[in-house]
Structure 1
Amino acid sequence: MTKPHILAWLGGGQRHILREAPGDATKLASMGAVLVGTAAVASASAAFALTTAVGLTTPAAVVVGILWGLLILALDRMLVISMSRRTGFWPNVAAAAPRLVLALLIGAVISVPLVLRIFQPEINSELQVMRSESLIANQKKLDEQFADLPTLQARVDELQAVADGREQPNVSSDPDVRTARDAVTTAQKSYDDAAAKAQCELDGRCGTGRAGQGDAWRSAQTTADRALATLNAAKAELAAVETAVRDRISGGAAAAASSARAELTTLRPTLDERVAARAQVLRDMEKGEKENTGLLSRLEALDRLSDGRPMMFLAHWALILLFACIELLPVIAKLFSSSGPPTLYEQLVQVQENGALAASQVRSDRERELAELEIDVRTEIERHRAAIQVEAGKHANARLLSKQQELADRAIDVWAEVAKQRTDEELARWYAWHARNDQSPVASTNGSQLPASPPTAGS
Structure 2
Amino acid sequence: MKKITRFFWFCSGAHIDTLKKYPIEHNKYVGIGATIFFTALFAALSGGYAMYFVFSGSAFAVGFAILFGLLWGTAIFNMDRYIVSSINKEGTTNQQILQASPRILLAIMIGIVISRPLELKIFDKEIRGKLKTSYLKGQQRKIDTLQKTYQGKYAMELAKNSELKKEKDSLEKDINRSRFQLNQEVFGDKTNQTSGITGYGTYAKQKEAVLKEKQDRLKTVTGDMANMELYLSARKNYEGLNSTKLFSDKQLDSLANVAGFSDRNWALGQLSYNDKGERDLDTYLAISFIGYLFILFECLPVFVKLMSPKGPYDVAVSKLAEANIHLAERDKERDMAVTDNVYDHHLEADIDKRKRIITGQSEYDLSRHSYD
TM range (shorter): 0.5 to 0.7
Identity %: 21
SS at match of 1:306: coil
Distance apart, 1:19 and its partner CA: 4.3
RMSD: 4.1
Tell me which residue corresponds to 1:227.
none
Measure, in 2, the Cα distance between the counterparts of 1:130 and 1:9: 49
Tell me which residue corresponds to 2:137.
133
Tell me which residue corresponds to 1:123.
127
2:344 to 366, 370, 376: 376
Measure, in 2, the Cα distance between the counterparts of 1:310 and 1:395: 106
The answer to whether structure 1 residue 336 and structure 2 residue 307 are counterparts is yes
Alignment of 1:300-379 (within 5 A): 300-307=266-273, 309-337=280-308, 340-341=309-310, 343-379=311-347
Measure, in 1, the Cα distance between the counterparts of 2:351 and 2:120: 83
| Closer, same or farther: CA 362–49 of 1 in aligned 2, 3 Å | closer
Tell me which residue corresponds to 1:91.
95
Measure, in 2, the Cα distance between the counterparts of 1:281 and 1:397: 114
**Structure 2 counterpart of 1:336, which letter?**
M
Distance apart, 1:22 and its partner CA: 5.2
The answer to whether structure 1 residue 272 and structure 2 residue 234 are counterparts is yes
Tell me which residue corresponds to 1:297.
263
Measure, in 2, the Cα distance between the counterparts of 1:144 and 1:290: 26
Alignment of 1:57-206 (within 5 A): 57-147=61-151
Q: Say if 2:150 and 2:239, in contact at 8 Å, map to a contact too.
A: no
**Structure 1 counterpart of 2:64, which letter?**
A
Q: Say if 2:43 and 2:114, in contact at 8 Å, map to a contact too.
A: yes
Distance apart, 1:53 and its partner CA: 6.0
Alignment gaps of 5+ in structure 1: 159-168, 174-245, 406-459
Q: Say if 2:127 and 2:264, in contact at 8 Å, map to a contact too.
A: yes
The answer to whether structure 1 residue 27 and structure 2 residue 28 are counterparts is yes
Q: Say if 1:149 and 1:271, in contact at 8 Å, map to a contact too.
A: no
SS at match of 1:349: helix
Q: Say if 1:85 and 1:92, in contact at 8 Å, map to a contact too.
A: yes
**Structure 1 counterpart of 2:78, which letter?**
A
| Closer, same or farther: CA 83–114 of 1 in aligned 2, 3 Å | same
Measure, in 2, the Cα distance between the counterparts of 1:171 and 1:72: 74
Q: Say if 1:153 and 1:271, in contact at 8 Å, map to a contact too.
A: no
Runs of 4+ in 1 over 6 A off after TM superposition: 153-156, 169-173, 266-270, 283-289
Q: Say if 2:139 and 2:246, in contact at 8 Å, map to a contact too.
A: no
SS at match of 2:89: coil
Q: Say if 1:80 and 1:331, in contact at 8 Å, map to a contact too.
A: yes
| Closer, same or farther: CA 151–275 of 1 in aligned 2, 3 Å | farther
Distance apart, 1:98 and its partner CA: 2.1
Tell me which residue corresponds to 2:198.
none
Q: Say if 1:51 and 1:58, in contact at 8 Å, map to a contact too.
A: yes
Q: Deviations over 1:142-190 (max 9, x none)?
A: 211222679858979x9xxxxxxxxxx99969xxxxxxxxxxxxxxxxx
| Closer, same or farther: CA 64–4 of 1 in aligned 2, 3 Å | same
SS at match of 1:146: helix
Moved more, 318-327 or 146-155: 146-155
Q: Say if 1:18 and 1:25, in contact at 8 Å, map to a contact too.
A: yes
Measure, in 2, the Cα distance between the counterparts of 1:369 and 1:40: 51
Tell me which residue corresponds to 2:181.
none
Q: Say if 2:143 and 2:245, in contact at 8 Å, map to a contact too.
A: no
Measure, in 2, the Cα distance between the counterparts of 1:391 and 1:65: 79
Alignment gaps of 5+ in structure 2: 169-212, 274-278
Q: Deviations over 1:369-403 (max 9, x none)?
A: 3333333323322232222223322343455456x
The answer to whether structure 1 residue 36 and structure 2 residue 2 are counterparts is no
Distance apart, 1:91 and its partner CA: 2.2
**Structure 1 counterpart of 2:237, which letter?**
V
Q: Deviations over 1:314-362 (max 9, x none)?
A: 322222221111111111112113xx23x23222222221112222222
Measure, in 2, the Cα distance between the counterparts of 1:170 and 1:321: 65
**Structure 2 counterpart of 1:11, which letter?**
S
Tell me which residue corresponds to 2:18.
17
**Structure 1 counterpart of 2:244, which letter?**
L
Moved more, 328-337 or 393-402: 393-402
Distance apart, 1:124 and its partner CA: 1.3
| Closer, same or farther: CA 281–373 of 1 in aligned 2, 3 Å | farther
**Structure 2-normalised TM-score?**
0.68
**Structure 2 counterpart of 1:117, which letter?**
K
**Structure 1-normalised TM-score?**
0.56
| Closer, same or farther: CA 150–47 of 1 in aligned 2, 3 Å | farther
Alignment of 1:368-407 (within 5 A): 368-400=336-368, 404=371
| Closer, same or farther: CA 30–361 of 1 in aligned 2, 3 Å | same
| Closer, same or farther: CA 87–280 of 1 in aligned 2, 3 Å | farther
**Structure 2 counterpart of 1:81, which letter?**
S
Measure, in 1, the Cα distance between the counterparts of 2:264 and 2:19: 48
